[in-house]
Structure 1
Amino acid sequence: MHGPASPGWLLVALCAATGAYCLLRMRSAVEEQRRTAGAEALMGFGMAVMAVPAAVAAPPHWAWLGYTAVFGAAALRALWAARTGRHHLHHLVGTCAMVYMAAVMAAAPSAPHHAHGGAGVPLVTGALLLYFTAYVLLSGFRLLPVAAVAGTTGPTGSTGSAAAAARGSAGTPGWGDRPELSQACRLSMGIAMLAMLVTL
Structure 2
Amino acid sequence: MHGPALAGWLLVALCAATGAYCLLRMRSPVVEQRSAAGGEALMGFGMAAMAVPAAVFGPPRWAWLVFGLVFGAAAVRALWAARTDAHHLHHLVGSLAMVYMAVAMAAAPAGGSAHSGHGGPSGVPLITGLLLLYFAGYVLRAGVRLVPVPAPAGAGPAPRPGLALSWGDRAELALACRLSMGIAMFAMLLTM
* Alignment check: 8 A CA contact 1:146 1:180 kept: no
Q: Residues 82 and 40 from structure 1, CA distance in 2 versus in 1: closer, same or farther, beyond 3 angstroms?
A: same
Aligned to 1:132: 135
Give deviations 1:99-149, integer Å, cap 9, x for gaps: 00001011115134x65525411111011000000000011011011677x
Aligned to 2:168: 176
Q: Residues 125 and 82 from structure 1, CA distance in 2 versus in 1: closer, same or farther, beyond 3 angstroms?
A: same
Aligned to 1:145: 148
- Percent identical: 72
After superposition, where does 1:46-85 map in structure 2 within 5 Å?
A: 46-85=46-85
Given the two structures, how large is their TM-score scaled by the length of structure 2? 0.87
Long gaps (5+) in structure 2? 152-160
Aligned length: 177
Give deviations 1:22-55, integer Å, cap 9, x for gaps: 0111110022311210100000000000000011
Q: Residues 174 and 107 from structure 1, CA distance in 2 versus in 1: closer, same or farther, beyond 3 angstroms?
A: same
* Alignment check: 8 A CA contact 1:116 1:199 kept: no
After superposition, where does 1:4-19 map in structure 2 within 5 Å?
A: 4-19=4-19
Cα drift, residue 59 of structure 1: 0.5
Following the alignment from structure 1 to structure 2, what is the Cα–Cα distance between the partners of residues 147 and 185? 23
Q: Residues 109 and 44 from structure 1, CA distance in 2 versus in 1: closer, same or farther, beyond 3 angstroms?
A: farther
Residue identity in the other structure for 1:78:
A
Q: 1:125 is paired with a residue of what secondary structure?
A: helix
Q: Residues 5 and 56 from structure 1, CA distance in 2 versus in 1: closer, same or farther, beyond 3 angstroms?
A: same
After superposition, where does 1:157-168 map in structure 2 within 5 Å?
A: none
Given the two structures, how large is their TM-score scaled by the length of structure 1? 0.83
* Alignment check: 8 A CA contact 1:60 1:109 kept: no
Aligned to 1:199: 191
* Alignment check: 8 A CA contact 2:108 2:115 kept: no
Asked if residue 190 in structure 1 is aligned to residue 189 in structure 2, the reply is: no
Q: CA RMSD in A?
A: 1.9
Structure with greater helix percent? 1
